[in-house]
Chains A and B, each alone.
Chain A
Amino acid sequence: MKVPVNITVNGRSYQRDVEPRQLLVHFIRDLGGLTGTKVGCDTSQCGSCTVLLDGVAVKSCSCLAVQADGAAVTTIEGLAEQGTLHPLQEAFWDKHGLQCGFCTPGMILASHELLRHNPDPSDADIRHGLEGNLCRCTGYQNIVRAVRHAADALAEK
């Protein structure tokens, strides 16, 4: 039996009938075109699926679509405003904070959450704050640099 939901994704509302068991990440990825949110695991460990749910970072593989009914989701596709990259996106690019890019959408959104709580984090804060996101390519060092760089850029704004 399907259940109707109304979920706003990147400012656009989507009314769909979903299976109660459908994961939010699959709901998003099945909307057509919004595949920036990745699935890297099946145990809520990797953080590749991180999105903002009403502004708060969540692992969208550990949340059902029905739980997000009425909520507003921001995915990596919704982070840039009117074609201008978000300072975090710029920083990941500037600091070579990505290689294969698979973890990157989740990393950027998890970093968004980190900076929301702590706009001026130390390297250790950043490393601690990103413990829930795995990257196999970068060894994290340039991700830490990127987040620090973004914090500076946001502070200047």
Chain B
Amino acid sequence: MATRLFGSGIRRREDPRLITGSATYTDDLTLPGMVHAAMLRSPHAHATVGTIDISRAQASPGVLAVYTGKDTSDGLQPMPCAWLVPDADLKVATYPCIATDTVRYVGDIVAVVVAEDPYQAYDALDLIDVEYTALPAVTNPAEAAGDGAPQVHADVDKNQAFHWAVSGGDVDAAFKDAEVVVKERIIQQRLIPNAMEPRAALAEYDQASGDLTLWNTTQNPHILRFLNSVVTGVPEDRARIIAPEVGGGFGSKIPAYPGEFITVFCAKQLGRPVKWNETRSENYQATTHGRDHVQEIELAAKKDGTITGLRCTVWAGMGAYLSTAAPGIPTILHGLMLPACYGIPAIKEDVYGVYTNTTPVEAYRGAGRPEATFMVERMVDRLAGEIGMDPADVRKKNLIPAFDDGHDTVTGLTYDSGDYPTALDKLLSHADYARLRAEQATARKSGRYIGLGLSTYVEMCGLGPSQVAGAIGFQGGLWESAIVRVHPTGKVHVFIGTSPHGQGEETTFAQIVADEIGVGADDVKVIHGDTDTTPMGWGTYGSRTTAVGGAALAKAARKVRDKAKVIAAHLLEAAVEDMEFADGKYSVKGSPDKAKSLAEVALMANVAWNMPANVEAGLEASTFYDPPNFTFPFGAHLAVVEVDKATGQVDLKRYVAIDDCGPQINPVIVEGQVHGGVVQGIGQALWEQAVYDDSGQLVTGSMLDYALPRAGRLPEIEVLSTVTPSPHHPLGVKGIGEAGTIASTVAVYNAVMDALGPLGVETIDMPFTPERVWRAIQQATKGH
């Protein structure tokens, strides 16, 4: 019996190169004649730029060239925005690669130096003299949208990049008839993604042939190839984009950036390979940030806990320019999810995208969905408090009952399948919720503040079909592609259009193929991240790699299987209808000894000495898979905290996650995704925040100042799951990359507020630093 690899937690096939240091990330590459670029970035959040004197820099040792915006304005077109959300009065302000007359955030590029070695390039940056005239800056999105705020772009009134609205059901009636209304203003603070590998680019340009090779830290090389053609003018057929080993992205490596295009520009001009590697400080200033919402929310309900409506206004900071996919994140990926796992029957949300003098905002793990989940889950707890019901009971009362064939929401989505009550029940019983509540009550009597925080969520992954992409203004498709090629010895190459960078698809995709066609996982090599060798695809983000790319792969593998069956039937002199694929072999039904292995079939297919009539040589198939719908993973999480009343210190004591991503290809990898996702969400609740001062300086400009989660401050995360297959995915899988982050921030938030409830504290802006918590306690108790 061939063991099924789907569902087995085999070790990752990418790890040997990563644990021995032989993996090659962009900055590890060296080419003959390679020189180094460094970017001069604006120290001002908002300023006009006068003369730029580059003469001293040009004369500096080792310097080959210094370019300013005047030099690049012909060779580099403005940065495009690729998610043009419709019906939103979208105003895409001009985003030059190198600023010429105005800088709009600390980190805006004003010049580039290319030198023989990186130290020389950085030395020369210090010798460029730029005349700035500082202008007033604005960093808070709600303030930027107000009257009299400094204008980030002269041609964008009130800094309003867009106004998008979603509504469904009768919200006015819901609030008119409401027995209870709870309100809150929530700050989804700005976060810095912090992939551990900073961004980097290496461009090699052949001036004779016009061929460009660009190695880049990207999550989506094919999109980058297209955008590169728009900005640098190198046509798609002449550009090869390679995403080598990529050290995490979390959304920050989706967008195209000026940095890589400036690197291409320099390589074209100089005829030498040019490498640019950002420093971590540059990464903080100029690699995209996430979140940055100011949210005003009202929830309408009945006294028995039935939720009847949700009304909200969001000011979403976009930063100084619209990053590649930015407009879609606080709108499509956010507002449409507001019915949540409760199927809230009436929704109205207004979202104002606002330019500020800050780093551009993009997708950051969860991208819009954590912000939506937070709003709903926080308000559910507020409602529970208001009507004196346990938060778990309010959730139970409102959860959509189990369904396996679609649930329509008032925002126009159709959830594919779900069993939310079972996930919550499993969570409560595993955690022994009733006992935890009893312990909490006992602890309170002795002056200890323990809090329980729940979050039940549904999210959407695997964006598609492409028709929907067009309707929502996404300037691309949302299908995925795969090629499965079986070599004469039965070894398999898989080429995919997605571009994993830590998620482990070299392993899980090999597992899929192994089962589908009858080879070992070790016989399958998964090739990705090179536009010259892989089929067109849209990349790895939005938990879509397995949800869409995995489906494409399964379908391609099934085509190979079908062809193998035909060839095997021919070789066995059997009718194709009498053949089956069982135990990893192609055999005649009822006669398992009359069988051919994939290797036997592959050899014949490749030499083609004896093929069935009308069957082409070779054993290979490709697919373009356009999903019929999104997938909708869901789950229920619980956080337990203890707050020290005297110091404001929050201690996260326990964390339990139940997630349902459908059948799990590799449960060890799924668990790893949950761990990482949960911790990133905890980071938002407890430690992380990008802080700008009033002049627009990024105060948290280094890893010293921005508090990332560290090993010592986290409990062991308990990971459980339920399994509800997606009805429309060929393998039933849904996606798990972002679930943890979507659920965990508000679980921890709710836990802290639950702990502080008896003290009368109602709201604290994240992150829960001891000082903030302590001040909130002091204010609520007036120091008693």
Interface residues of A, Cβ cutoff 8 Å to B: 19, 21-22, 29, 32, 34-43, 45-46, 48, 75-77, 79-80, 85, 89, 92-94, 96, 98-105, 108, 123-124, 126-128, 130-131, 133-144
Beyond A127-B711, A131-B712, whether A99 also contacts B672 by CB under 8 A is: yes
Residue of A nearest to B507 (CB): A96
* B residues near A29, Cβ cutoff 8 Å: 28
Partner of B250, one of A75, A85, A102, A136: A136
Say whether A35 contacts B28, CB under 8 Å: yes
Of A92, A102, A127, the most chain B CB neighbours within 10 A belong to A102
* A102 adjacent to B248 (CB under 8 Å): yes
Let me know if B281 is at the binding interface, CB within 8 A. yes
Q: Which of A76, A89, A126, A136 has the most CB of B within 10 A?
A: A136
Judge whether B280 and A101 touch: CB under 8 Å.
Answer: no
A42 to B284, CA, bound (A): 11
B702 & A45 in contact (Cβ 8 Å cutoff): yes
Q: How many A-B residue pairs have CB under 8 A?
A: 173
Among B189-197, B479-487, B558-566, the stretch in contact with A: B189-197
11 extra interface residue pairs, beta carbon distance < 8 Å, beyond A41-B280, A93-B15, A139-B680 = A22-B119, A35-B28, A79-B20, A93-B16, A98-B18, A98-B19, A99-B672, A100-B246, A101-B19, A101-B247, A139-B675
Report B107 CB to chain A, min CB distance, Å.
15
The answer to whether B12 and A131 touch across the interface, beta carbons within 8 angstroms, is: no
- Interface positions of B from 473 to 521, Cβ below 8 Å from A: 501-504
State which of A43, A85, A126 has its C-beta within 8 Å of the C-beta of B280: A43
A21-B14 in contact (CB<8A): no
Please give me the residue from chain A that is nearest to B11 by CB atom.
Answer: A93
CB of B245 closer than 8 Å to a CB of A: yes
How long is the Cα–Cα vector from A117 to B80 in the complex, in angstroms? Answer: 53
B134 within 8 A of A: no
Q: Are B711 and A101 in contact (CB under 8 A)?
A: no
**Alpha-carbon gap, A94 to B17, bound state (A):** 14
**How far apart are A77's CB and chain B's nearest CB, in angstroms?**
5
Give 16 CB contacts A-B under 8 Å: A34-B21, A43-B702, A45-B704, A46-B703, A48-B196, A93-B11, A93-B15, A99-B504, A100-B245, A101-B14, A102-B197, A123-B716, A127-B711, A134-B703, A139-B678, A139-B709
How far apart are B691's CB and chain A's nearest CB, in angstroms? 16
Q: Does B130 contact A (CB under 8 A)?
A: no
With A102-B247, A139-B678 known as contacts, the answer to whether A40 contacts B704 (CB < 8 A) is: no
Q: Considering the chains assembled together, what is the distance between the CA atoms of A133 and B703 in angstroms?
A: 11
**CB-based contact A92/B196 at 8 Å:** no
Q: Is the CB of B710 within 8 A of A131?
A: yes
For the complex, give the distance between the alpha carbons of A130 and B672 in Å: 18
Q: Across the interface, which residues of A come within 8 angstroms of B280, CB to CB? A: 40-43, 46
Chain B min CB distance to A97 (Å) = 9
Looking across the interface, which residue of chain A has its beta carbon closest to that of B30?
A: A32
Residue B757, interface by CB 8 Å: no
**A contact residues around B18 at 8 Å (CB):** 98, 101, 104
**Does the CB pair A141–B195 fall under 8 Å?**
no
Interchain CB contact under 8 A, A100 and B195: yes
A102 pairs with B25, CB closer than 8 A: yes
Q: A99-B503, A100-B248 are known contacts. Are A93 and B196 too (CB-CB below 8 A)?
A: no
Contact A46 B196 (CB under 8 A): yes
Contacting residues, chain B, for A37 (C-beta < 8 A):
21
Residues of the B chain whose Cβ atoms lie less than 8 Å from the Cβ of A103 = 196
